[in-house]
Amino acid sequence: MDNLIKKLQALQKFLTDGVYDVVCVEAENFYRKTFDMEGFTDRGFRKWDNVQRKLRPARTKSEKTLAGRPILTESGDLKKSVHAEKKPPYVIIHADREYAQVHNEGGMSGRTGRQFVMKQRQFIGKSAALNERITSGITRRIKNLK
């Protein structure tokens, strides 16, 4: 009976706090991986449209270097800015760069007089694949409770 009580207490602790840790870790890893894959996965993978620097011939050494880099990773700041915060009963996922939203959703960008339409390159959003990873992570943790 003591063993059952200990397991139930461990389960209660996990469900009130630990589950948020699983969601945070899985979400951050999943969304950061979109930068490496150059696309977003919901039910299926959707590759980002190419950028001009990859389409036109490189003329200088720095252009060649940039042309070889993955999309949205020139400095790596946007990828590093993806964070998950525990705010029970929610987990808030955000990227704290001022240009994150326009890249994620697409839309008008640039300064007045030099505006252009930014293509959507989603890296954060609803994802069935992420939900599956979270469910698997939670299930695995529950099975390993002592």
pLDDT at 146: 72
pLDDT at 4: 86
Tell me if 104 is assigned to some domain.
no
Question: Which distant-in-sequence residues (6+ apart) come within 8 Å of 41 by Cβ?
Answer: 34, 127, 129, 130
Do β-strands 39-41 and 107-109 pair in parallel, antiparallel, or remain unpaired?
unpaired
The domain in which residue 41 lies consists of 2-94+125-143
Q: CA-CA distance, 141 to 99, in Å (whole number)?
A: 36
Tell me if 99 is assigned to some domain.
no
Tell me if 80 is assigned to some domain.
yes
Tell me if 105 is assigned to some domain.
no
Tell me if 115 is assigned to some domain.
no
- Per-residue tens of pLDDT for the chain, all 146 residues: 788 888 889 889 999 989 999 999 999 999 999 999 999 999 999 999 887 655 566 677 665 656 666 777 778 899 999 999 999 899 999 999 999 999 999 999 888 888 989 899 999 999 999 999 999 999 999 998 87
Domain count, the chain: 1
Residue with tokens 């293509």: 119
Tell me if 114 is assigned to some domain.
no
Tell me if 106 is assigned to some domain.
no
Question: Which distant-in-sequence residues (6+ apart) come within 8 Å of 130 by Cβ?
Answer: 26, 27, 30, 31, 41
Tell me if 103 is assigned to some domain.
no
Q: Alpha helix (H) ranges present in 14-60?
A: 19-37, 52-55
